[in-house]
Structure 1
Amino acid sequence: MKYALLFFLTFLGTTTLFAQEFKISGLIIDTGTKEPLEAATVFAEAVKDSSLVVYSITDAKGRFELEGKTALKKINLIVSFVGFKSYTQVIDLSSQREYDLKEIALSSATENLNEVLVVGRTPPIRFKQDTTEFNVASFDTKKDANVEDLLKKLPGFEVDANGAVTVNGIPVDKVLVNGKPFFGNDPTIATRNLTKDIVEKIQVVDSRTRTQAFTGEQSDGENKTVNIKIAKDKNRGTFGRVAAGAGTDERFEYAGIANYFDNDLRLSVLGGGNNINRAGFNFGEVSSTFGRGAAWSITGGGNDGGITNSRVGGANYADDWGKSTNQATANYIYQASNTTQDRRSSAKSDIPERDPDTDELVYRTQFSESMSNSYSTNDRHRFNPEYETVIDSAYYIEIRPDFSYNESFNTSNSEEDTFDENREVLNESEGFSSRTSFSRDFRNRLSVTRRYGSGGGYIRLDLNNSYSKDESNSSNQNEVIAYVPGTQGQVIDEENSLIRDQIIEGNQQNNNLYTRLRWKAPIVKDLFFFSAEYSYNQDLREDENFVFDQNRDGALDTEQSADFSNENVAHRPELGLEYRDKKLNIEVEGAFIFRELASNETITDVAFDNYFEALEIEVDLRYQFTKNTRLRFGYDLENDIPNINQLSPYVDISNPTFIRTGNPDLDPTTQNRFNLNFNTYDVNKEANFYVYSNYSASNNEIISNTINENGFRRSTFANVDGNYTFSSGSGYGKNFKLDSLNSVRLNLAMNYNLRQRQNLVNGTQFSALNESYGPRVDFNYTYSEKVSARIGYNPNFEYNKFENENQNDIYILRHEASADLRFTFGNLEFENVLNYNYNSNIQEGFQKGSLFWNSSIQYSILKDNGLITLRGYDVLKQNNNARRIVQGQGYVDVQSLILQRYFMLGFSYKFNTLGDKPPGYDRGDGGRRYRGRRY
C-alpha cells in the first residue's frame, strides 16, 4: 500500500513540475455607457489547439481574475458577453506571469438577438437572462462518455450513485432533450443513454411548469431543469447502443436503445433485462463499469435486499404539429420483474405495564425472532401521451392522460416466535399466504390558462379526474400457539391455538374528481400581485374484502369480511399576495378547508360521518443576492386529517396476533414547519457552500395506541402532543486546478438530526429522543482522462434516549468508507471500487462489517464504437445489508438475501448517423426535401 501511495505522489509531482502559476485580472465595461458588465465570460485557451486552460466570469462590479497553472508560453484571452462583440488578446507568459489589463471595453453587437452570434471562440460558459449555458466542446471527457459523465465535468454539477443530479447544491428534477421530455419523468434514461458526441450545449434554468413559463411566473428556485441541446447539424439521423453480458452464477444482462431524430420529430425505442438488481432501464451501467454507485447504493440504509430478474421495454415520440406552439409527446413503458427474498430479524422491546401488587410502572423486556421468504412477480404497462398548444398567444391548453395496467403475484412463508425476558416462549406463529391481483388505472389532466394584459395576470382552470380498479384473489393459512407465561411451554388451551385457512376475494374501486379555478391579477405591473383560488375534491372508494373459511366448508366469515363505501369531499378557498422584483420574492397565502369524511360498512353495519374545518398558511421568502447566491425562508401551517382507516371503528382481525381498529373521535393534526436555506456558488473559484435548517412541531399528532399482552397486540389510534423534528447541515465543495491536466475536488459536509416521538403502549405514554450526526469527506483527483481517484469517509453517530430511566438508551455507530480508482491506457480502462461498511452495535449472529469490492477492465475496439468488458462484482463475497432499526420501544436487527459475487463478460456497440445526409437530400428552405419534393 505504501509503495502505491509513493507512486501516486511521485506521478502527481512530475505532472505538475513544469506548470507555473499565472494571474490575469481586469475590468469589463460597456463602451457606450461605461457601466461594468456582470457575468461576462473570460477564458484562456492554448494558441496552438484552442484547448481550454481556465475560465472565469465577471462579478457585479465587472471585475475578473484568471488564475491557473500552465507550461504554455502564450495563451489567447477571450471575453464574451451576450449582445456584445467578443474581445481577443494574445497573452505572452514567457517573461511575465501576472497581468492587470485594467479596462476592457466591449461594443454592442449589431444583431438584436436574444442569443447573439459571437464571432470567434465559443465561451465555455455563458449567461443569458435566466439561463446558464455550457459549451460541451470546452470540457474533456473519456471517449465513450455519456451525458452523465459530461455533467460530472461541469462546474457546480454533482451526480450521485443513483444518477440524481444537483447544480450548486440544488436538485435537478427535469432533464429535457431539445426542450422536450425524453421517456417521461426518468432523467437517467437521457443522462445515461445519450452520448456526449451528439450534444452541443447543456442549458440550466430554474424549474417551472409549462403553465408557469406561459404566464411568466417565477420559479420557487428549489429545483433546476437541464436541457440537452443537440447540435443543429446532428439533429437528423439515427443513433443508439446495444449490449449484452453473461456471467457466473447464471447472471446476465442485455439492453438496447435506438433513436431517430429529424429536427422536431423524435422517435426512440428501448429494451433491456437483467438478474443483477438493475431497476428500470440503465444502459450506462450495462456498457461500462459499476462506477462508485455500486458500493454506495447497495450497502446504504433502507435496502431491503432480494434478487430481482427485471425486464423493460418502451417507446417515445415527440414532435411539433404544424407549429412550435402545438407540441405532442407520448411514451409507452413496459416493466416486469420477479423477486426472490429471504429475511430474518431479531427484535428487543421494553413493554410498560402496572405491577398488580404495587401499581407501580415497570418495564418488561420482550424479544422476538422471525424468518420469512417470498417470491413475487409484477408486470406493468403504462401509456402516457401529452399535448399542449398556444392559441393566439393568449390561451394555453395542456392535456395529459395516463393509462396503466398491472398484474402481480406474491407468495410468502413466515415464522415468528415471541419470548419474555427469560427467553421463555410466549407465542409462536407460522403462516403461508399468496395473492394475485389485476389493476387498471386511468388519470387525466386538463389545464386551460387565459393570459391577459402584459403585467402577469391570468385565469387558470384545472380539471383532474382518475379511476382505478383492483381485483384480487388471496389465500391465507396461519397457526398461532399461545403459552402460559413462566411455564416453559404449557399451552394455554386449544381454543387459543388459532388455525386459519382462508380464501379471500377483493375488489377495490376509486373515483376521484379534482377541479381548481385560480385568478391572479397584478396590483402593480410585474411587481405586486393578488391571487384568489377555489378547489373542490371528491374521492369515492368502494372496498370489498370477502373472506371464506375453508375450515367451515368455505362459508363466508362475516367477522373478517368487509364491504366499505367511503367518501371524502373537500372545499378549499384560498387568497394570496405576492411581491417580486429582481432580487426579492415574497408570497403569502392563506386557505380554509372544509372537509367531510363518511364511511359505511354493510356486513357489520358500522358507519360514521366526520366533519373538519382547518386553516392553512404558507409564507415563502426568497432573496437573490447575486446570480449564484440565494437565501430562502419558509413557514407552513398545515392540517392533516385522519384517514378513513384511522377513523373507522371496524375491527380488523385478519392478523390474529395484531388486531386493529380505528378511533372515530380523532382530531386533525396541526403541523408548524419552518425552513431556512442558503447556498452560494463562486464560478471563479469553482467553490460552493450551502447551509440549511428545518424544524417542525405538531399538535394532536395521530399515533398508534397499543395494548401488548404476552406478545398479542391490540391497536387503535390516539392524538398526542410533543412530537417535533429538527435537522440542520452544511457543505462546502471546491475544485483545485493544479494545472491544465491535474485537478482536485474536495467536498465536506456535516449533518445533524434531532427527533422526538411519543409512544402509547399499555395505557402509558412515553417519549423517545433520537439524535444523530455525522461528517462526510470526499476527495477526488483527476489527471486528464487517464487517472481518477476518489476517497470518501462518512461516520454516523446515533443516540436514542428514552424518557423512562428503566429503559436502556441505544447507541449506534456506523462507519462507511469508500475508494474508487480508475486508470486509462489508450483503449484500455481499469477500475476498482471498494466500500467498507461497519456497524459496531448490531447483535451477535448478524454480520457487522464488510469490505465490498467491485473491479472491471474494459477495452474499446471498432474505432471506439465497440467495448469489451470483464467485471467482478463483490469479489471478496462480503456484501451484506445487516442493519439496526430503532423503534419507539426498542430496536430490531434485520438481514436479508442480497446479491453477491459474480463475474461477467460483456460487449456493447454504439452506432450514430446523426448529421449524415442521405443521397438526394436537400435542406432547401429549411423543410425536409428529397430531390425537390417535400415530405
Structure 2
Amino acid sequence: MRFITICIAFLFLSVTHAMAQGTIKGKVTDSSTKKALALATVTIFKAADTALITYRMSAPEGDFKVTGLPLNIACRAVISFSGYEVYRKEFTLTDNTSIDLGTIALAPAATSLDEVLVIAERPPVTVRKDTIEFNAASFKTLPTALVEDILKKLPGVQVDADGNITVNGKKVNRIMVDGKDFFGSDPKMATRNLPANIVDKVQVTEDKDERELNPDRSEGDIGQVINLKLKKAIKKGWFGKAYAGAGTDERYEGGAIVNLFKDTMQVSLLGFTNNLNRAGFSFNDIRSLGGFSRSGINSLWMNGNGGVSVNGISLGGTGDGINQSTGAGFNMNHVLKNGLTLNSQYFYGQSRNDILELNNRQQFLSDTTLVTRSNRNEVLKSYSHRVAFGLKGKIDSLSRIDFKPSFVINDQHSNKFTGTSSSSNIDGLLNTSNNQQNMDGKDVSYSHSLLYFKNFRKKDRSLNIANSLSYGNLDNSQINDVINTFYESSSALETYLNQLRDREQNNFTTTLNANYNEPITKLLNLRLGYSGTYFNNVDQLGTFNKGGGSKYDVVNANLSNELSRESWRNAVSAGLNVKYKKLNVTGTASFLKLDINNQFGKSVTDVNQRYSYVLPGMTVNWRELNLNYSANATPPNLSDLQPVPDSTNPLFIVNGNPDLKPATAHSINLNYFKNISTKNLFISAYGFGNFRNNAVTRSRVVQTNGVQVTTPVNVDGVQDLYTNLNVVKQHKANKNFQFGYGVGYNVNFNRNYLIVNGRKGYVKTLDIGPFANGNINWKDKIEWSYSYYLGFNRTNYENDQFKDLKVDRSGLRTELVVRWPKHIVWESNLALSKNSNVAPGVQKNVALWNAAMSVVFLKDDKGQLKFSAFDLLNENISVFRNTTENQIIDRQINILQQYFMATFTYNIRSFKGAKVGSVTDRFFRF
C-alpha cells in the first residue's frame, strides 16, 4: 500500500506539472472548401535540433489543442494532412502560456507528403485515406528493443502481457513485412522477433481479406493489419536466441531457437528442456522466432503458469502438478515464384506431470450435506509427434487458396492412485475407496482445412468455398483395481473391482461450406449459402475381468458394447442485405435437415432420427452498434448416447441415454464499440444471450451409501446470459510521462434444470466481476501496472429442498519494471488471490511474489544474465472454488514453489544486409 500511495502521489505531481506548462490550439480546414480536416497531425519539435516534443491529432471538427509544452524554448509546429501542403509555425511560450493559432487553411499539394516534408521533420503520425502511418524514428526505444516495444508507444495501440495487439480497440489479425505476408497470420510472429531499429514505418489498415469474407460484420469486429516497412539496408538476416539456466532444488532450463531468412525463404530450428512448469519457449517465441504459425495453428491451450500446447502438442508446462518437458522441431517456409507460400513443420515433444490433488465436494439437499473428499497422486507421461504442411496465396488477381493439412500422434501413460471418502452431516462416514488406475492411450489423427475465395469483376460479387476434414483414432486401455468399503450398518462391507476397460474411438468429420454474394442494386445484395457436414463416429468398448491367471481375458458382456453413429447435416440459406449510409441490415432464413443413424449394438434397438428445422437469422450494424441473431440445432455427444455405464469410478457411475434429442438454440449478440482517438478513449460493451430447448443436463441419484449415478436427459428453458463493459483511457502528461487506467465488469447468468433424487427445479447462478486496472510509464525507465478484480457468485434454487449458495473472491496483480542504471533491469510482480469459505484443509489466501534482476552486456547488448527468485514468500499454491448445480467444489493442486535461478541468454540479431551464404552463414547451407 505504501508503494501504491507513492505512485499515486507521483502521478498527481506529474499531472500538476504538466498542467503548468504551455498550450497551443487552433483549427485545421481545407483552404478551398472550408471543411474541417479531421485527424490532421499536429507535431511540435524543438526549433534548434528538430527533436520531437509531442504531437496530437485534430478532432472531427478540425480543432486541436496541444498541452504540456515547455516554456522559454523555441519550438516549431508542423501541421500536415495527406495530400495537402505543410504548415509551419515557430513560437516561444513565455509568460503567456497559451497561443491560439486560429483557423489554419491547408492548400492541396501537387506532390506527396514525403516529398514535401523535410526528413528531420517527418510527423510521428500520418493518415492516408484508410491507412494510419507511424514514423518509427519518432518513438524512442532501448537498444535491445523489439518491434513490440515500438508498438506499445504508438497512440491507440495496446499490447497485453501475452503479446496480443489491438489498434483503437480492434484486434490485429496479422503483421506483414514490406507488404508481404511473410511472417504468417499471427501478429506475435514479428513483434517479439524483429529488432525495433530495423523498422522505418509502421502502417495500420483494416484487414481487407476479413472484410471480404465477412461483408456484414460490424466495423468494430473487423481486425487490423500492420505492415512493417523496413529500412532499405535491411533485407536479409538471421536471428534467434540460446539460453541455459540452473537453480536451487535441482531446477534447470535450456534451449535454443534460430531463425534464418533469405528473401523468400525462412527456416526455424528449436530445442528445449526444463522442469519449471513452463514451456521451453513461450507461445510468443514459437510464433515469432520460430515461424510455426504458417504451418497452421488449429488449437492453442495455455495455463496460468506459462504452459503451452499447440495443435495438441505440449511444449511444456501444461496439465496439473509439477511438469518436466523436452521438445525439438523445425519449420520451413518458402514463397514460390508464382507467389504461393509453401511451408512444412515437424515437432516432437514429451512431458511428465507429477500431480498431488485435494478435491472437496459439498452437496446440499434439504437438511443433508454430503461431503466427498478425494486425494489424487498421479504420474502422467506424454509423447507427441506432429507433421504439418501448408500452401496458400493468390491464384490470380481475383482468387486465392489456403490449404493446411496436418498429422499428429500422441501417446499417454498414467499411473494414478485416488483415495476417496464420502460422509454426511446426518449419517457420518458413508464409504471409502482406494482406486489404483493404470492407463495407456494412443491418439492418431489427420486434419486439413481448404479455403477458396474468389472476387468477380463486378463489384461486390464474390464466392467463397471452405472444406475441413478430420479423422482421429483413439485407443485407450485402462486397468482399475478398486477396494470400496461401505458403512451402511454397524459392520463395514467391502467390494472389489479389478478389470481392464479397453475403448477405441474412431471419429471422421468433413464439412463443406459455400457462400455467394450477388449485388442487385447499389443498396441491395442477395446472399446464398450451403453448409453440409458428414459425421461417422464409432465407440467400441470392451471390458475384461481376470480369468484364472494374471491376464484380463474374460469378457464382461454387460459392460461391453459397440456404438456407431452416421449423420448428415445439410443446410441451405438465403438472405438479403441492405446498406443505407451507416445502416447495414442482413436477414436470412436457413432450412436445416438432420439425418442421424444410431447403431447401439446388441443392448438397444437401433434408432434412426430425422429432423427438419427452419432457422431465421439477422444482423444489424449501425455506426458503432452491432446486433446479431441466429438459431441452430445440435445433436447430442456420442458419449452421452452410450447405453453401457462407465463404472471406472465405482462411487461415481456415468450412464448414457440413447433417447436424447438434438438441442435447439436461439442466440443473440449485441456489441458496442467506440474509439475516440483524439482523446485516447476506448469504450466497448458486449451482451450475449443463448436460450436452449432439449438441452442436455444430467439427472443425478445419490444413494444412501454415497454412490452417485448420473444420466443425461433433455430439458427445456436453459439460458446463458453474459455482458461486459470495458472503458480505457490513456493520458500523455508530457513527453516523459504517460499513464492510463481502465474500469469494467463481467456478468454471467445461467439458468439450468437440476434433478437430484427426483427433486426437480430450475437453478439460477449469477456471477458478477467488476475490475480496474492502470499503468504508469516514466521515460521507459519506470513502468508500473496493476489490476484488481472482485467476484461475487450467487446460486438460487426454485426448489426449497436445495440450499442457496454463495462464493466471493478477489485478486490483485501488480508489476514493476525499473531500467536503471544503464544495462540493469529490475522486475517484480505480485499476485494476491482470496477465496471465501473454502473447505477445511484448503488454503484460503495465496500470495505469489516473483522478482528478477537482469544484466545486459556484450556487443549490441546481445547477452543477458538474469537472476530470478520465484515465490519469494513461499506461499504459492493452486486453489480453485466454484459452484455447480447444488454443489460447492474446492480444488487444491500441488504447484511449483520457491526456487532461485540464474539464466544466461544470448540473442542473435544479424541484419547487416550481407549476402546469406557467405562464410559466416555456411553452417545453414544456403
TM-score (norm 2): 0.88
- Who is 1:508 aligned against? 505
Specify whether residues 498 and 161 from structure 1 end up closer, same or farther in structure 2 by C-alpha distance, changes over 3 A only: farther
Specify whether residues 549 and 116 from structure 1 end up closer, same or farther in structure 2 by C-alpha distance, changes over 3 A only: farther
Q: Given the alignment of the two structures, is residue 337 of structure 1 paired with residue 351 of structure 2, yes or no?
A: yes
- Who is 1:859 aligned against? 855
Q: How does 1:139-218 map to 2 (within 5 A)?
A: 139-176=139-176, 187-188=187-188, 190-207=190-207, 209=209, 213=212
SS at match of 2:221: coil
Task: Name the CA distance, whole Å, in 1 between partners of 2:116 and 2:528.
Answer: 43
Partner residue of 1:453 out of 440, 454, 457: 457
- Who is 1:890 aligned against? 887
Deviations 1:225-255 (A, max 9, x none): 4435251432312222222221111222223
SS at match of 2:137: helix
Q: Given the alignment of the two structures, is residue 546 of structure 1 paired with residue 542 of structure 2, yes or no?
A: yes
Specify whether residues 200 and 59 from structure 1 end up closer, same or farther in structure 2 by C-alpha distance, changes over 3 A only: same
Contact 1:345–1:895 (8 Å) recurs in 2 = yes
Bigger drift between 847-856 and 233-242 goes to 233-242
Task: Tell me by how many angstroms 1:634 deviates.
Answer: 1.7
Task: Name the CA distance, whole Å, in 2 between partners of 1:681 and 1:674.
Answer: 23
Deviations 1:300-321 (A, max 9, x none): 9x99741212234343333432
- Who is 2:97 aligned against? 97
- Who is 1:843 aligned against? 839
SS at match of 1:684: helix
Deviations 1:108-157 (A, max 9, x none): 444589x9986543333333444434333322334423344443333333
- Who is 2:654 aligned against? 660
Bigger drift between 779-788 and 164-173 goes to 164-173
Contact 2:177–2:183 (8 Å) recurs in 1 = no
Report sequence identity in percent. 27
SS at match of 2:640: helix
Partner residue of 1:639 out of 627, 633, 642: 633
Q: Give the residue type in structure 2 aligned to 1:68.
A: G
- Who is 2:664 aligned against? 670
Partner residue of 2:797 out of 797, 802, 820: 802
Q: Give the residue type in structure 2 aligned to 1:460.
A: N
Task: Name the CA distance, whole Å, in 1 between partners of 2:444 and 2:145.
Answer: 40
Specify whether residues 868 and 556 from structure 1 end up closer, same or farther in structure 2 by C-alpha distance, changes over 3 A only: same
Partner residue of 1:709 out of 696, 703, 719: 703
Task: Tell me by how many angstroms 1:343 deviates.
Answer: 0.5
Contact 1:168–1:679 (8 Å) recurs in 2 = no
Specify whether residues 313 and 85 from structure 1 end up closer, same or farther in structure 2 by C-alpha distance, changes over 3 A only: farther
Deviations 1:676-702 (A, max 9, x none): 222222222222222233233222322
Task: Name the CA distance, whole Å, in 2 between partners of 1:140 and 1:475.
Answer: 62
Q: Give the residue type in structure 1 aligned to 2:663.
A: T
Task: Name the CA distance, whole Å, in 2 between partners of 1:135 and 1:119.
Answer: 13
SS at match of 1:882: strand
Bigger drift between 36-45 and 311-320 goes to 311-320
Specify whether residues 918 and 263 from structure 1 end up closer, same or farther in structure 2 by C-alpha distance, changes over 3 A only: closer
Bigger drift between 265-274 and 783-792 goes to 265-274
Task: Tell me by how many angstroms 1:820 deviates.
Answer: 2.1
- Who is 1:222 aligned against? 221
Task: Tell me by how many angstroms 1:323 deviates.
Answer: 4.2
- Who is 1:491 aligned against? 492
Task: Name the CA distance, whole Å, in 2 between partners of 1:93 and 1:231.
Answer: 38
Task: Tell me by how many angstroms 1:716 deviates.
Answer: 1.8
- Who is 1:615 aligned against? 614
Specify whether residues 8 and 652 from structure 1 end up closer, same or farther in structure 2 by C-alpha distance, changes over 3 A only: closer
Q: Given the alignment of the two structures, is residue 681 of structure 1 paired with residue 675 of structure 2, yes or no?
A: yes
Specify whether residues 701 and 67 from structure 1 end up closer, same or farther in structure 2 by C-alpha distance, changes over 3 A only: same
Q: Give the residue type in structure 2 aligned to 1:138.
A: S
Q: How does 1:317-716 map to 2 (within 5 A)?
A: 317-324=332-339, 326-351=340-365, 362-422=366-426, 424-484=428-488, 487=489, 490-492=491-493, 497-525=494-522, 527-551=523-547, 553=549, 554-580=553-579, 583-602=582-601, 604=603, 606-624=605-623, 630-710=624-704, 711-716=706-711
- Who is 1:269 aligned against? 269
Task: Name the CA distance, whole Å, in 2 between partners of 1:208 and 1:274.
Answer: 42
Task: Tell me by how many angstroms 1:599 deviates.
Answer: 2.1
Specify whether residues 200 and 412 from structure 1 end up closer, same or farther in structure 2 by C-alpha distance, changes over 3 A only: farther
Specify whether residues 227 and 637 from structure 1 end up closer, same or farther in structure 2 by C-alpha distance, changes over 3 A only: same
Partner residue of 1:755 out of 731, 736, 750: 750
Deviations 1:286-345 (A, max 9, x none): 9xxxxxxxx994599x99741212234343333432244x33344444433222211111
Greater RCO, 1 or 2 (C-alpha within 8 Å, sep 6+)? 1
Specify whether residues 920 and 540 from structure 1 end up closer, same or farther in structure 2 by C-alpha distance, changes over 3 A only: closer
Q: Give the residue type in structure 2 aligned to 1:491.
A: A
Q: Given the alignment of the two structures, is residue 308 of structure 1 paired with residue 323 of structure 2, yes or no?
A: yes
Q: Give the residue type in structure 2 aligned to 1:740.
A: K
Specify whether residues 50 and 771 from structure 1 end up closer, same or farther in structure 2 by C-alpha distance, changes over 3 A only: farther
- Who is 2:814 aligned against? 819
Contact 1:732–1:747 (8 Å) recurs in 2 = yes
Task: Name the CA distance, whole Å, in 2 between partners of 1:322 and 1:805.
Answer: 72
Contact 1:173–1:223 (8 Å) recurs in 2 = no
Bigger drift between 6-15 and 391-400 goes to 6-15
Task: Name the CA distance, whole Å, in 1 between partners of 2:320 and 2:50.
Answer: 50
Q: Give the residue type in structure 1 aligned to 2:862.
A: N
Q: How does 1:763-774 map to 2 (within 5 A)?
A: 763-774=758-769
Deviations 1:331-381 (A, max 9, x none): 444433222211111111024xxxxxxxxxx55321111010222222333
Q: Give the residue type in structure 2 aligned to 1:340.
A: D
Deviations 1:781-831 (A, max 9, x none): 221011122233222222222333453332222221233222222111212
Specify whether residues 810 and 174 from structure 1 end up closer, same or farther in structure 2 by C-alpha distance, changes over 3 A only: farther
- Who is 1:290 aligned against? none
Task: Name the CA distance, whole Å, in 2 between partners of 1:122 and 1:272.
Answer: 44
Task: Name the CA distance, whole Å, in 2 between partners of 1:809 and 1:556.
Answer: 46
- Who is 1:79 aligned against? 79
Specify whether residues 147 and 248 from structure 1 end up closer, same or farther in structure 2 by C-alpha distance, changes over 3 A only: farther
Task: Name the CA distance, whole Å, in 2 between partners of 1:867 and 1:283.
Answer: 21
Specify whether residues 401 and 568 from structure 1 end up closer, same or farther in structure 2 by C-alpha distance, changes over 3 A only: same
Task: Name the CA distance, whole Å, in 1 between partners of 2:744 and 2:229.
Answer: 35
Which structure 2 residue ranges, 5 or more long, are not aligned? 287-301, 308-316, 919-925
Task: Name the CA distance, whole Å, in 2 between partners of 1:45 and 1:820.
Answer: 33
Task: Name the CA distance, whole Å, in 1 between partners of 2:584 and 2:515.
Answer: 20
Task: Name the CA distance, whole Å, in 1 between partners of 2:205 and 2:846.
Answer: 42
Task: Name the CA distance, whole Å, in 2 between partners of 1:761 and 1:182.
Answer: 57
SS at match of 1:663: coil
Q: Given the alignment of the two structures, is residue 907 of structure 1 paired with residue 904 of structure 2, yes or no?
A: yes
- Who is 1:718 aligned against? 713
Contact 1:567–1:597 (8 Å) recurs in 2 = yes
SS at match of 2:597: strand
Q: Give the residue type in structure 1 aligned to 2:668.
A: F
Q: Give the residue type in structure 1 aligned to 2:684.
A: Y
Task: Name the CA distance, whole Å, in 1 between partners of 2:7 and 2:29.
Answer: 48
Specify whether residues 73 and 204 from structure 1 end up closer, same or farther in structure 2 by C-alpha distance, changes over 3 A only: same
- Who is 2:779 aligned against? 784
Task: Tell me by how many angstroms 1:767 deviates.
Answer: 2.5
Task: Name the CA distance, whole Å, in 2 between partners of 1:763 and 1:817.
Answer: 43
Task: Name the CA distance, whole Å, in 2 between partners of 1:285 and 1:870.
Answer: 21
- Who is 1:38 aligned against? 38
Q: How many residues align?
A: 887
Task: Name the CA distance, whole Å, in 2 between partners of 1:84 and 1:317.
Answer: 45
Which structure 1 residue ranges, 5 or more long, are not aligned? 287-294, 352-361, 625-629, 922-934
Q: Give the residue type in structure 1 aligned to 2:664.
A: T
Contact 2:358–2:892 (8 Å) recurs in 1 = yes
Task: Name the CA distance, whole Å, in 1 between partners of 2:482 and 2:789.
Answer: 44
